[in-house]
Chains A and B, each alone.
Chain A
Amino acid sequence: MERSIDLGTFVPEPDDDMLICRCEEITKGEIRQAVHDGMFTIEEIRRWLRAGMGLCQGQTCGKLVKGIVAKELKMSPWKIEPATSRAPMRPVEMRIMGNEQLEG
């Protein structure tokens, strides 16, 4: 993917301060700005802003972030790859994570 495409100037929108990622408190405007800064993939958005990196790991906002990124890039959200799936599927306390039972 060519990263030097012209997305035009960043024009603020009235609902830019709306929260999208509730866990990490990332707004729509921050996500839009990140796209204009060259963050074109969900992985880059996550790494740059932490959107989708909190307790729910993007379960709630994943689709919303995709939609915002797609709109800025003027492409279909279905063409945007979702984030990698990572264990644990639900948050697990360190005490429990370390307490393994391999047999029986």
Chain B
Amino acid sequence: MNRYDVIVVGAGPAGLSAAIEAAKLGLKAIVFDENAKPGGQLFKQIHKFFGSKEHKAKVRGFKIGEELLQEASKNGVEVVLNAIVTGLYMDKEVTVKQDDKIVHYKGDTVIIATGASENMVPFEGWTLPGVIGAGAAQTMMNLHRTRPGEKVLMLGSGNVGLVVSYQLLQAGCEVAALVDAAPRVGGYGVHAAKVARCGVPFYLSHTIIKAEGTDCVTGVTIGEVDSSWKIIPGSEKHFDVDTICLAVGLSPMSQLAKMAGCEMEENPLKGGTVPICDEYGETSVKGIFVAGDVSGIEEASSAMIEGRIAGIAAARSLGYIDEEALKEKSKELEAALGSLRQGMFGPGSKGKEIIQTEEGYEISKSLLTKGYIAEDEIFRYPGVTKKTGLHPVIECSQNIPCNPCQDACRKGCIKIGENITSLPVVDQDSECTGCGLCVASCSGQCIFLVEDGIEEGYSAVTMPYEFLPLPRKGDMGAALDRSGTKVCEAEVLEVRVAKAFDHTNLLTIKVPADMTMKARFYVGQEV
């Protein structure tokens, strides 16, 4: 029978990383993926990732996918696409549907990296065409370049709901509302702020009552829920939409592990049914490992590290490296994984209400309920400084594992320090050259450059801008504040496009002096 040192199921971030690491240590590795394109969810991720620069932060997801593929091929990993693993049997035998046959393989080790599937939530009309998963919307837009609809309502304020809402806006859809039954925004505040300043209203403590339409979605009614999740009568709100996107969480796709006889558990913190595994991802069945979302829902950045650890552990179990090498190699990775799991969004904080940052700054209540930091809250954060000359304003208010901004500034103006989740601090004494690298480096798009007094009564605000078509110098339009409300007229002073910015273009607008700390987005006149 076809035999490999390691068979990896799933060519997403975890699976590819596992195969690469195993192949680097000498293992004969093969990766199967049921999709026509490798990379799992990475190829739909057009946004920049969070994390540390050692672990691909500020790189866009699809780029990470391309890098992983190159690395896999360089190291001799066989990646087989359109290959559906149909079963995992005794003796680590894997059956794979390839073309019109079922091919049998055996692995001395098997790494299951099958990822997750989207959760659904039922409401009246949820089976109407037009109700889709947020992941499906992302696939349509970013892989197939098709807009899922014209007017969309998003249910779910976790990172998926926020990121996909932003991408819908980028694709030219209107996002009528972002709705979540929870009382607080679930995802990163910076992702929420990007969506809110485009004018998308947030409805927390709201849920969908019904999708309307006979043959397809033509509208939706939402309502406010009380503390026992019951709709408050009279709170109903209607929106004319043609698409309802559901971003209500993911469930590990752990069926293969279960079929193989791995001991499983129902774990709410991990999002569903997961195999019980040790620190290297090895399950109760010797030689069967799991990595990535299949072992518990997390971010792609953690999935890549988990994959690498599993790959190294597989190498150890087959005698390609010794125990000492395993410990040494996995130590650094586990430390990195540990740091990614820190902060207020780490697995340990799931479901907890956090009222202040690690440093003791109060969390913005407005951010958690409306998606943006209120004007009277913004000055409490260490990245937001008052200074007359040109300087950065970093509206980063939550402890998330991310630090590229501190290296972006060559003048040492931005400091995060040892702890990757700390809020960036702006050093008021450093000289800002206005290069804009920090603005483009922030995956959360929360860094702005402001300069007062560029001419009598006017200031300049530079913002990250990821929409097409790009405005041109001299264009007139309106500045929007953090809530997406038009606050004043604005003139485009400059549009900077550079390779180093990696498609986060820098848009500088001229606004009245009292708008310096308000204007955070720009729309052209015709809008």
Contact = CB atoms under 8 A, between A and B. Distances in A.
Contacts, number: 84
A60 B120 contact: yes
Contacts of B343: none
A90 B34 contact: yes
Given A20-B122, A78-B268, A100 B104 contact: yes
Interface of chain A: mostly helix, strand, loop or mixed: loop
Contacts of B127: 19, 22
Interface string A75-98: 000111110111111101001110
Nearest to B133: A60
Contacts of A63: 119-120, 251, 272
Given A79-B266, A82-B266, A101 B101 contact: yes
A98 B161 CA distance: 42
Nearest to A27: B122
B2 interface: yes
A7 interface: no
Nearest to A89: B86
Contact of A64 (B84, B103, B122): B122
A99 B255 contact: no
A102 B1 contact: yes
A90 B98 CA distance: 12
Contact of B85 (A85, A89, A99, A102): A89
B448 to A, nearest CB: 41
A99 B127 CA distance: 36
B86 A92 contact: yes
B90 to A, nearest CB: 12
Task: Report which residue of B34, B100, B122 has the largest number of chain A beta carbons within 10 angstroms of its beta carbon.
Answer: B122
A82 B273 CA distance: 8
A28 interface: yes
Contact of A89 (B87, B120, B272, B273): B87
Interface of A: 15, 18-20, 22, 28, 59-64, 78-82, 84-90, 92, 95-97, 99-104
10 contacts: A22-B127, A62-B251, A63-B272, A89-B86, A96-B100, A96-B102, A101-B104, A102-B1, A103-B1, A103-B2
What are the 6 A-B residue pairs with the smallest beta carbon separation, nearest first? A87-B87, A88-B86, A85-B255, A85-B258, A85-B259, A101-B103
